[in-house]
Structure 1
Amino acid sequence: MVQSEGAYQAGQLLARGVARYLRSLDFSCVQEFVPARGLRVDVAALGPKGEIWVVECKSCRADFAADSKWKGYLEWADRFFWAVDADFPIGILPDETGLILADGFGAEIVRWGPETLLAPSRRKVQTLKLARAAMFRLQTARDPLLSPS
């Protein structure tokens, strides 16, 4: 079933635009991904060289202010980005993080955050988690009688 544009929340539209843009950079994305217990990132992206990026989508100042977990995401990615729309007050975002301007149709990187490479063992675990999450979702989409994992 395809959702109408109005059925999406603002953050979901940003995540869709980010995923479309990252696809153009040859990244595969999983939205609403859990890298570790108690954490859920808006977009986790796996690049062509095995790099892992995390993108947190913020639709307004209050959405950003309510996010107290974002620093915990840094240890699960090689790069971290915020994704916001053109009306977002970007001055409140930490300068030491990446920035993507997005809407429901696309995005672009405005500021690159620092690259902090994951340890090889963590990269392997996260890559397997990403692959399994994507496969479970695809299998569930193709066979609705399966329960999501």
Structure 2
Amino acid sequence: MNKLPICGGSVAPAERTLAICRAATRFCALRGWAPVQEVPLPNGRRADILALQPDGGFVILEIKSCARDFLSDTKWPEYRDFCDRLYFAVDLDFPQDLVPEDAGLVVADGWESALLREASPHPLAPSRRRSLLHRFARLAAGRLAALADPEGHAAMRAALKVE
């Protein structure tokens, strides 16, 4: 009986996910991509990492901590509508044969990660790209402003909830 490795081991799934996400974010930055984590998409889904490439292309990196995480998630195909390329970022223990052939594969090991397979391109329509770029910029600028002035950001959010 061939069993898939499930979420287990000495590292909790949440810690494993965080470590993969950090390595994937570094992977993006080293390539000159501008990564933003936890990006709400217009279809109600949330991309783990949406990165803007120097040429204006968008990639989504979907973080998967284990086979169970991958097999229980049926939402990731819906991310393709909001990127030019879709990658999965996993760690060394992840069963790589689960990742679809047309998706890219990034494997994280501690602080580092490596591209094992390039993602197939599926270019966004110009109108969708423009809309996504606007969403990306507003989200990134808002998060940067919140880091610069946490109290002012909290007060503004509270004021907006009252209105």
| TM-score for both structures, normalised by structure 2 | 0.82
1:88 to 88, 94, 97: 94
Gaps of 5+ in 2: 1-11
- Map 1:1-149 onto structure 2 (within 5 A): 9-145=15-151, 146-147=153-154
Cα contact 1:16–1:106 (8 A) shared by 2: no
Looking at CA atoms only, which structure, 1 or 2, has the larger radius of gyration?
A: 2
Question: Measured at CA, do residues 143 and 104 of structure 1 come closer, stay the same or move farther in structure 2, by a change above 3 Å?
Answer: farther
Question: Mean alpha-carbon deviation: is it higher for 96-105 or for 110-119?
Answer: 96-105
- C-alpha separation in 2, matches of 1:144 and 1:101: 34
Give, in angstroms, the shift of residue 84 of structure 1. 0.3
| TM-score for both structures, normalised by structure 1 | 0.89
- Give the number of equivalent residue pairs: 143
Please state whether the residue corresponding to 1:9 is helix, strand or coil: helix
Structure 1 vs Structure 2: percent identity of aligned residues?
35
- Please provide the CA RMSD for this pair: 1.8
- C-alpha separation in 2, matches of 1:63 and 1:69: 11
CA deviation string 1:112-149 (max 9, x = no partner) = 12101100110011111111111111111111121369
- C-alpha separation in 1, matches of 2:103 and 2:75: 14
Gaps of 5+ in 1: 1-5
Give, in angstroms, the shift of residue 46 of structure 1. 0.1
More helix by share: 2
Cα contact 1:11–1:58 (8 A) shared by 2: yes
Give, in angstroms, the shift of residue 111 of structure 1. 0.5
Structure 1 moving runs of 4+ over 3 Å = none
Give, in angstroms, the shift of residue 104 of structure 1. 4.5
